[in-house]
Structure 1
Amino acid sequence: MTQLIQIKGDHPLAGPPANGLFSIPVRTPQSDGLTMPAEWETHDACWMVWPCSEECFKGVLPEAKQTYAQVARAIADFEKVFMLVNPGQKKEAQNLCGSAVTLVDATCFDSWARDSGPTFVRDDKGKVAGIDWVFNGWGHHPLTGPCDETMATQILRRLAMRRYVAPFILEGGSIHVDGQGTLITTEQCLLDPKRNAGFTKADFENLFRTYLGIEKVLWLANGLEGDETTGHVDILATFARPGLILINSCTDPGDANFAVTEDAKKRLTDAVDASGNAIEIREIPQPERQDWKGERMDLSYINFYMPNGAVIMSAFNDPADDQAKQMIQDIFPDRTVIQIPNKPLFAGGGGIHCITQQQPAGTALPPF
């Protein structure tokens, strides 16, 4: 079964130049009864991509590789980890990751599985498929060379899993869902004219309903200062369970992030989820400012990954490290909380959530 999906005439998938809106018939997750599960639901695996970009990691690539390997080994204690790697770097990755991590030959140019990899969806019978968003290097980054626009295809082909090609640009780090029909994102990222020029909130709300089963979108304004992705929500706020959102808390009025987080708290205080329930907010302290090569790193404890039975979160050699870990442990009392020193990843533009992508438990739907 197909649905008519509206796209803009200037969209990369529109074909020859055209003006205005027009409709194309496509097979969608909604038409096949699939929705996006919450990240805390049971996983079959975690997907990662071995770091290989000197340009991205700005002089800390060796340290970033050590951090990737440490994160992968920690996750592998709780669920299967697949690491995509260029064949020429396979020996290096194996030496650092060990036998608990399964290496997969791939063509990789960067290493942010959350954004260039597929977003997985599942139906009520436990059948799983993947969405291949259009990836254009975070919109604002000029593509001076190849990027990982084929990453989702490579992963889904490896899984022999159904692939839904979405007719719009999106990165996985720009959204969080509660698994019950509510999604949180930022206007700064989604309404970026270098991603989906001319798209409105209503357009995205319709697309999220069609591709992820979303009935309510919670719109925050901006992301944190120093975020190279231009407003990804997974640095600022995340669902911990339905009705509970954790938010990066900046208490210094002189910090640019103060206005960002105060506005986010105000919006969420007045919001309800898809079930009509009020949103509870839990504030997690922001680490002290640290710069790398003259630029602010968007350090945040919010950017964590939840493998089966655990939370893998960042440490920054910051006075708030222990407090943040205890707060996360209190929020997730039934999970093991592991903190990993993580400044090399943020020097490259992201965190632990950014380098991971969960594959929910279930059986693969076969390709079309």
Structure 2
Amino acid sequence: MTHISTTTHTSSTAAATPADLGFAMPAEFSPHTACWMLWPQRPDTWRYGAKPAQRAFVEVATAIAESETVYVGVNDEQYENARNQLPADVRVVELSSNDAWMRDVGPTFVTHPDGRLAMVDWEFNAWGGLKGGLYFPWDKDRRIRTKIAEILGIPRFEAPVVLEGGAIHVDGEGTLITTEECLLNPNRNPEVDKANMERLLGDYLGVEKIIWLPRGCHLDETDGHIDNLCCFVAPGEVALNWCDDETDPQHAISREALKVLENATDARGRALKVHKLLQPGPLFIAEEEASGIDRLSSSHPRQPGDRMATSYVNFYIGNSVVVMPLLDPARDDQAKATLQGLFPDRRVIGVPAREILLGGGNIHCITQQQPLASSHQA
């Protein structure tokens, strides 16, 4: 059952889904009003009290702020520190969280042709709950969407399904791309099959066509989020994390994804153009990087020598910039040149992002776009 919560005291229509009411999720490359982020501080995710990660987050926020308003949610005990580190034009708000992955714990915004903005509030269980999840508890993360709805004064559609924002990409024209590994994982929604998941995605995001890739990136601790493997860069065009080394497990994953993409059509009937982004590395956690992390039984272990799920696809598309991770000096320039070719009207900014990667994700994972809407009136 769908429940619509709204801070503007409009009536709730329990049976109405966002699609029923005319809402749909815009593409990331569509105009934004703002970008939302969270401040890192969790010592079992981020080494040395998250100080190196905080510097990386500041660089990401600074780059995106050239393009649009940036909100950074901060726990009270870190508020003054964050405010002093972040640029004056970045808006720091008290917004408690368990960790800093706004893409996954924040809202998925949807818009209406008449200019209204709303959000989808998915269930969240920290990427698998007690069956492979990355930390416990996740109670503060679970309240973030409600709080942002209150801040913005927009309707909040409560969806009866566990889903993270990094698990989906849309083209804004009726097509969604995702992975079976994540959305059909029994640690998310064990009783939801592919047909029902497609219906739910259509109901809540207004999409008509789902392109299913089998798996996400090798060793991705999110159980295969699409945003580390493949994303829409324009209608009918995607970027794909690529590996030329046949001995690397990522090679087979990228090849099988390419086969699906080359045989797929989008909701408008177009064949997809695939742009390959050669993966960084492979990259591994160094001894000194692992030694700075708190060891807790309730969190995902990070050990020296562990391979990280590296990808240049994990970038953020802003109004006038594209902010990409710099991860491998041997390949950063090539990836940046490829992205600049894909986004000729935006300035591609590279940000040193190894500290974000050490926490388990990257730039797309720590950001969530708020699409432009001509009115916030519900």
Name the TM-score, length of structure 2 as normaliser. Answer: 0.89
- The equivalent residue for 1:154 is 147
State the percentage of identical aligned residues: 43
Greater relative contact order (Cα 8 A, min sep 6): structure 1 or 2? 2
Among 334, 358, 362, which residue is 1:351 paired with? 362
Give yes or no for the alignment of 1:106 onto 2:91: no
CA distance in 2, matches of 1:276, 1:60: 50
Is the contact between residue 236 and residue 300 of structure 1 (CA under 8 Å) also seen in structure 2?
Answer: yes
Is the contact between residue 27 and residue 164 of structure 1 (CA under 8 Å) also seen in structure 2?
Answer: no
Q: Give CA deviations for 1:247-305 in whole Å, capped at 9, x if unaligned.
A: 00111111110110000000011100001111111101111111112211111110000
- The equivalent residue for 1:90 is 79
CA distance in 2, matches of 1:76, 1:127: 24
- The equivalent residue for 1:20 is none
Measured after TM superposition, the shift of residue 108 of structure 1 is 1.4
- The equivalent residue for 1:226 is 219
Q: Give CA deviations for 1:5-39 in whole Å, capped at 9, x if unaligned.
A: 7xxxxxxxxxxxxxxxxxx9533211210000000
Q: Give CA deviations for 1:304-363 in whole Å, capped at 9, x if unaligned.
A: 001111100011143110011001001111110000010111110101000000001114
CA distance in 2, matches of 1:26, 1:58: 46
- The equivalent residue for 2:268 is 275
- The equivalent residue for 2:299 is none
CA distance in 2, matches of 1:317, 1:184: 27
- The equivalent residue for 1:333 is 344
Among 157, 167, 170, which residue is 2:160 paired with? 167
Measured after TM superposition, the shift of residue 226 of structure 1 is 2.3
Is the contact between residue 85 and residue 105 of structure 1 (CA under 8 Å) also seen in structure 2?
Answer: yes
CA distance in 1, matches of 2:68, 2:91: 11
Is the contact between residue 129 and residue 364 of structure 1 (CA under 8 Å) also seen in structure 2?
Answer: no
Give yes or no for the alignment of 1:295 onto 2:306: yes
- The equivalent residue for 2:23 is 34
Among 312, 328, 331, which residue is 1:320 paired with? 331
Among 302, 319, 332, which residue is 1:308 paired with? 319
CA distance in 2, matches of 1:323, 1:142: 33
Query: Which residue identity is paired with 2:251?
Result: F
* Equivalenced residues, count: 346
Secondary structure, aligned partner of 2:316: coil
Among 136, 139, 149, which residue is 2:125 paired with? 136
Q: How does 1:44-123 map to 2 (within 5 A)?
A: 44-59=33-48, 61-123=50-112
Is the contact between residue 133 and residue 165 of structure 1 (CA under 8 Å) also seen in structure 2?
Answer: yes
Q: What residue ranges of structure 1 are gaps of 5+ in the alignment?
A: 6-23
CA distance in 2, matches of 1:113, 1:145: 16
- The equivalent residue for 1:240 is 233
RMSD, aligned CA? 1.5
Comparing 62-71 with 143-152, greater Cα deviation is found at: 143-152
Is the contact between residue 130 and residue 162 of structure 1 (CA under 8 Å) also seen in structure 2?
Answer: yes
Among 167, 174, 180, which residue is 1:181 paired with? 174
Secondary structure, aligned partner of 1:291: coil
From the two aligned structures, give the one with the greater strand fraction. Answer: 1
Measured after TM superposition, the shift of residue 145 of structure 1 is 2.5
Q: Give CA deviations for 1:28-74 in whole Å, capped at 9, x if unaligned.
A: 21121000000011100000011121112244721111000110011
User: Does the C-alpha gap of structure 1 residues 354 and 142 become closer, same or farther in structure 2, counting only changes over 3 Å?
Assistant: closer
Measured after TM superposition, the shift of residue 366 of structure 1 is 4.7
Secondary structure, aligned partner of 1:40: coil
CA distance in 1, matches of 2:16, 2:307: 42
Is the contact between residue 162 and residue 364 of structure 1 (CA under 8 Å) also seen in structure 2?
Answer: no
Measured after TM superposition, the shift of residue 96 of structure 1 is 1.4
- The equivalent residue for 1:124 is 113
Is the contact between residue 161 and residue 364 of structure 1 (CA under 8 Å) also seen in structure 2?
Answer: no
User: Does the C-alpha gap of structure 1 residues 230 and 319 become closer, same or farther in structure 2, counting only changes over 3 Å?
Assistant: same
CA distance in 1, matches of 2:78, 2:136: 23
Is the contact between residue 218 and residue 250 of structure 2 (CA under 8 Å) also seen in structure 1?
Answer: yes
4+ long deviations beyond 6 Å = none
